[in-house]
Chain A
Amino acid sequence: MLPILALLLGAVIALGPLVYMNIATQQASYDCAIAAAQSLDAAQGYAQGLYAAQASFGAFNLTPARADISVRGDWERNGMIVCEIAYRVPTGAFPFHAVISLPSEVRYSVSLPPHAFKSEWR
């Protein structure tokens, strides 16, 4: 009986933060893609995307260092920019983590076309 109770309590405790991390990672991916899509220059787009994703995690009070951020694509007209983020879940911080199976990471990607007709391209 007690292991079942521990399992259920562990799930209850872990679910909230996991949902929060999912939403934060989705938002960070979107912010990253939007920022990267503002430039037609690959190096600048990459830097903007990376910065926006880290700022987004900061706004959610999550550690940006836990996120593996990948910004790639064609910074050309009719191109596509993809921002993919994998956030490593701090599984050890959850109680009963030994008995409940938690995902080791949360991964999302957002694709956008570059802002094709914006001024100040570089």
Chain B
Amino acid sequence: MVSARANHGRLQRGQILILFAVVLPVLAAMVALMVDIGGAAITYHRAQVALDAAAFAAAQAVDLDTLDHTQRLQLDPYLAGQLAGQYASLNSRGQLQIVSFYIDRDTVYVTGQMVYRPLLAGTVGIDTVRARVVSSATAGFGIAAGGE
């Protein structure tokens, strides 16, 4: 009777070990996947915020000469490009590359690429995750009577 009970206990311990051996790698892989998906989501959102900031900054580059002479609101492409690059790099911590920059009179269109290096997916050959982010901004302008 005692011997049968001991055998039963040993058998159950064996079953639990097998269960752990199967479940643990699956669970660890799921955690790894979640860490990388979460990391990619945070990086993507950060890149979007940085690109929005870059577009906003570029839209401040109003060409004052053109405005004085023609009364047309237009952006200075050189200054706008400089501002976009400066603020994209400042706000993205190197996780965003600007891939295209286009100005249509008073509106700036920027396209960037998010770069995320996974922490754990590298073990299965995924070294870098890239995604496209787009943004645009229009120059805000207008001097009201009560303005400066």
Q: Please, what's the 1-or-0 string for B23-62, where 1 marks a CB less than 8 Å from any CB in chain A?
A: 0100110110011001001100110010011001100101
Q: Chain A residues near B57 (CB, 8 Å)?
A: 112-113
Chain B residues positioned under 8 Å from A4 (CB to CB): 24
- Known contacts A5-B24, A8-B31; A116/B45 CB under 8 A: no
Interface centre among B20, B24, B31 (most CB of A within 10 A): B31
Does A26 reach chain B (CB closer than 8 Å)? yes
Cα–Cα distance between A110 and B47 once the two chains are bound (Å): 12
Q: How far is the CB of B131 from chain A (nearest CB, A)?
A: 15
Contacts of A112 in B (CB 8 A): 53, 56-57, 87
Interface residue tally for chain B (C-beta within 8 Å): 34
Contact A8 B27 (CB under 8 A): yes
Give chain B interface residues in 1-32, CB to chain A under 8 Å.
Answer: 16, 20, 24, 27-28, 30-31
CB nearest neighbor in A for B83: A113
Residue of A nearest to B91 (CB): A110
Binding site for A on B (CB under 8 A): 16, 20, 24, 27-28, 30-31, 34-35, 38, 41-42, 45-46, 49, 52-53, 56-57, 60, 62, 83, 87, 90-91, 139-144, 146-148
Q: Contacts A33-B53, A111-B53 given; 6 further ones with Cβ under 8 A?
A: A5-B20, A18-B38, A34-B56, A117-B62, A117-B140, A119-B141
